[in-house]
Structure 1
Amino acid sequence: MRFIGLIILILFWIPCNSQSIRGRVAFNFLKLSADPMLTGAGGINTSYVTNEVGLTANNPSLLHPAVNAQLLVSFSSFLKGVKSYNATGAYYNRKTNTTFGGHINFIDYGSITQTDASGVSYGYFRPIDFVIQFEAARTYLENWSYGVSLKMINSIYNQYKASGIAFDVGVLYKDSLHNFSASLLAKNMGFQIENFGGENEDLPFDIQVGISKRLQNAPLGISLTAYHINKFNLTYKDTLFNMENGNLEKHPALNNILNHFVIAGHIYLSKNLEAVVGYNHLRRMELNTGLSGNGLNGFSTGLKITFQNLQVLYARSVYQRNVTLNQIGINLGMNSFFSSGNL
């Protein structure tokens, strides 16, 4: 228990204000979700425990022996031909009682016209972002687990390049008897190794805490996650734009509180079918456009269908009216392909 307490103390000791939330922040693609069920839950969730490996890319403390020999591949399609490819896997080692994980995220921004200072085109280039991630987690006593991730980050925009190193550290408490879990997570602690040619920028550092509870007598569950708890005021206001578009904030203090929370509802339709609905208030506030209407901006949904040794996952997230992100994934149980089992 002392070790868990030490990790929690370190998380709160981190100089929270040393890394920006708004402004000059590099590698913002690290905020994107690699797992369709996480995307469907609002894009941010630290505490939801399943037997699916995809969520471990977001929180290393979710690694546990049940996700051994799983491989999730997912694909997302954004606007203007931007595509994201993800692969996440895990392996449990009995000798060390440690679950290891790995994750790769590759983002292709498509072909972009290259011009000179006068606007004359002289070719094309393809900007890319990618991160390679290594993880490890162990259990402590009956209800606790802790994990750490190491991320090697790269961005290549034609002749401009940047790279960095980041760490995630998480602690999870799980009470299986009462279907309750809670987690504390510090994300993207690190620094740039190489910048784009100017000064080094901060990483998208974040401290998150979440709880999840499955109801005892109903096929329902709920998750509540607080994020950016290291900085209270997340509001960015473009006063002129808001006035021109009729996007006037009526309850700024309340919105500033709600901006820190993402809520998700889990619906267990059957043993092999699960759905999730999420709402991200900050996303809605950032992307609202006033007079044009905002529809389901900030809402998201996800679906998981389980077959033998195979899960199919799909998510749809609304960013603005007629602007959505679609993500599909396949989670494979690889144990059946390896007769040797755990090493």
Structure 2
Amino acid sequence: MAKQLLLFSFFAAFLFKNLNAQTLGGSNTYQFLRFPASPQLAALGGVNVAHKSNDITLAFQNPGQLDSSMHSQMAANFNSLYDGAKNYYWMLAYHHPKLNTNFVASILYFNYGNMAQTDASGNILGSFRPTDFSVQLTASRKYMERWHYGLSVKYLSSNYGIYRSNAIAADVGIVYKDSANLLQMGLVAMNMGGQLKRYNEAVAEELPFDVVFGIYKQLEKAPIRFSLTAHHLHQFDILYNDTTFNNDNGFRNPSSGKFTFEKLFQHFVFSTQLLIGQRVEVTVGYNFLRRSELRITNVPNGLTGFSLGVGAMLPKLQLRYARSYFQNSTAYNQIGLNLPLNQYFGLGKWGEKMGW
């Protein structure tokens, strides 16, 4: 295992050296890419690049998670957010036997509902419906017995009334799988790329770049799985700090440039999953950064930062539900299903030729 950790360290060091550290939340665009696209990811705390599951939606955050066992699997996910905002995610996997390569096509779409369009004085001029979407193509392959690597390329588009933008981005990920020890590790560089069209031609905005490492372990004699994920490895101080807002409202400004354990733990997401028999999984996750950013001073913050999920693994259907808690225990719900399409219908001779 020490050799594998060393290889991951060298790969991470290469990424840090060759990629420019980009700015954090509130200072870059296309923030919808940080949203967990599926109930599984949401229940695991919102960020996870190493969890072991026959769920193609895990490839949304790590293309190296895609393998041949997910062939013909289709996933459809829905999330109703606040004030009419909705999120949809669809993806389909295919394993090409001759190329020995796995492919996925996916679409992520956000509709934020109807909003009033105003001028600088607040006068209502009309209304508009802001949207974000991403079209993503993913390919992955296996190297030797335990290594998997993958690449995702995505086209991004945002439409906010008169302000529109689009971009190209890529994710690169690797996964190490040790089935004998019930262990997995993953490392990903996310959202590398740039804008093709800017909201304002005079201002270039950065994408929400991230470097994420995760480790997954299942107990040998108990049906319990654990995951530890570390994100924003390229930058230590990641808490978004609006000093003007803090000063105007009497809030404390976090100390900058100093090491604190609070800043360290803001990089971590913990999760555990309990398997009940062969068909049911129950998941609990905790995101330190989410709780740090969204907690309210001097009031109870309840379950802020926590997430819960349950899944039913049926013979021809995976059904999952997640509930994630945000500010002051405000939560959103997410549902999704996965279907192995080749178990529902065939494609005749054409299907035989393409390995359906």
TM-score interval for Structure 1 and Structure 2 normalised by the shorter chain = over 0.9
How far apart are the structure 2 equivalents of 1:78 and 1:114? 21
Give the AA of the match of 1:82: A
- TM-score of the two chains, using structure 2 as the length reference: 0.90
Kindly indicate whether residue 329 of structure 2 is the aligned counterpart of residue 316 of structure 1.
Answer: no
Q: Which residue matches 1:300?
A: 307
* Structure 1 match to 2:117: 114
Count of matched residue positions in the alignment of Structure 1 and Structure 2 = 340
Q: Is the 8 A contact 2:24 2:240 kept in 1?
A: no
Please state whether the residue corresponding to 1:81 is helix, strand or coil: coil
Paired residues of 1:56 and 1:63 also in contact (CA < 8 A): yes
**Structure 2: 5+ residue runs without aligned partners?**
none
Q: Partner letter of residue 211 of structure 1?
A: I
Partner of 1:214: 218
Moved more, 249-258 or 230-239: 249-258
Cα shift at 1:115: 2.2
Q: SS of the counterpart of 2:83? A: helix
Indicate the residue corresponding to 1:332 in structure 2.
339
How far the C-alpha of 1:246 sits from its partner, in A, is 7.1
Distance 1:177 1:26 in 2: 42
Q: CA RMSD in A?
A: 2.3
The alpha-carbon distance between structure 1 residues 335 and 143, as it changes in their structure 2 partners (threshold 3 A), is same
1:149 aligned to which of 133, 148, 152: 152
Asked whether the equivalents of residues 166 and 197 of structure 2 are also in contact (C-alpha less than 8 Å), the reply is yes
2:174 corresponds to which residue?
A: 171
Matches within 5 A, 1:70-219: 70-197=73-200, 198-219=202-223
Counterpart for residue 274 of structure 2: 267
- Relative to structure 1, the CA distance from residue 9 to residue 44 in structure 2 (aligned partners, 3 Å threshold; closer, same or farther) is same
> Is contact 2:295–2:328 with CA below 8 Å preserved after alignment?
no
CA distance in 1, matches of 2:58, 2:259: 33
Structure 1 segment 233-312 matched on structure 2, within 5 A: 233-238=237-242, 241=246, 253-312=260-319
| Alignment match of 2:28 (pick from 25, 29, 36) | 25
Q: Which runs of 5+ in 1 are unaligned?
A: none
Task: Give the alignment's TM-score, normalised by structure 1.
Answer: 0.93
Distance 2:250 2:122 in 1: 31
**Which residue in 1 is equivalent to 2:48?**
45
Structure 1 residues 228 and 159: CA distance shift in structure 2, 3 A: same
| Alpha carbons 2:296, 2:328 under 8 Å: kept | no
Question: Deviation at 1:195?
Answer: 0.7
Q: Note the C-alpha offset of 1:248.
A: 8.6
Which shows bigger deviation, 240-249 or 333-342?
240-249
